[in-house]
Amino acid sequence: MQVTPVAGLPEIREGDDLAALIDERAVLQPGDVLCVASTVVSKAEGRTFDFADFPAGERARAIADRLEAITGESKDPRFAQAVIEESEELIVEAPFILAVTHFGHITVNAGIDRSNVPGGDLLLLPEDPSASAERLHEALDVPVVVTDTSGRPFRYGQRGVAVGWAGIPASRDWRGETDREGREMEATVQSVVDELAGAANLVTGEGDGGTPAAVVRGFEFGDHEGSNNLFRSEADDIVRAALREWEFEG
Residue nearest Mn ion by beta-carbon distance: 149
Terminal CA-CA length for the chain: 47
Measured from the CB of residue 194, what is the shortest distance to Mn ion in angstroms? 14
Q: 175 — phi, psi (to 5°)? A: -60, 140
| Per CB under 5 A, 184 contacts Mn ion | no
Measured from the CB of residue 193, what is the shortest distance to ligand GDP in angstroms? 15
13-32: which residues touch Mn ion (CB under 5 A)?
none
Report the residue number, 56 or 125, with the smaller CB distance to ligand GDP. 125
- Sequence-distant (6+) residues with CB within 8 A of 31 are 142, 217, 218, 219, 220
Q: What burial class does residue 73 get, using C-beta atoms within 10 Å of its C-beta: 0-12 exposed, 13-18 middle, 19+ buried?
A: exposed
Q: How many CB atoms lie within 10 A of CB 182?
A: 6
Q: How many CB atoms lie within 10 A of CB 143?
A: 24
Report the residue number, 37 or 196, with the smaller CB distance to ligand GDP. 37
Closest CA to 140 of 13, 218, 24: 24
Report the residue number, 77 or 212, with the smaller CB distance to ligand GDP. 212
| Residue of 32, 148, 194, 195 that binds Mn ion (CB under 5 A) | 148
Measured from the CB of residue 177, what is the shortest distance to ligand GDP in angstroms? 33
Peptide bond into 118 cis (omega under 30): no
CA distances from 47 to 40, 128, 176 (A): 10, 11, 43
| Per CB under 5 A, 194 contacts Mn ion | no
Report the residue number, 11 or 236, with the smaller CB distance to ligand GDP. 11
From the list Mn ion, ligand GDP, none, pick the one residue 191 interacts with, judged by a Cβ distance below 5 to 8 Å according to partner type: none
| Residue of 113, 121, 194, 195 that binds Mn ion (CB under 5 A) | 113
| Residue of 179, 206, 234, 236 that binds Mn ion (CB under 5 A) | 206
| Per CB under 5 A, 114 contacts Mn ion | no
Measured from the CB of residue 149, what is the shortest distance to ligand GDP in angstroms? 4
- Sites of contact with ligand GDP (CB under 6 A): 9-12, 37-40, 43, 113, 115-116, 148-149, 204-212
| Per CB under 5 A, 86 contacts Mn ion | no
Closest CA to 47 of 106, 104, 91, 101: 101
The DSSP bridge pattern shows strands 2-5 and 122-123 to be unpaired
Q: Give residues in contact with Mn ion (CB under 5 A).
A: 113, 148-149, 206
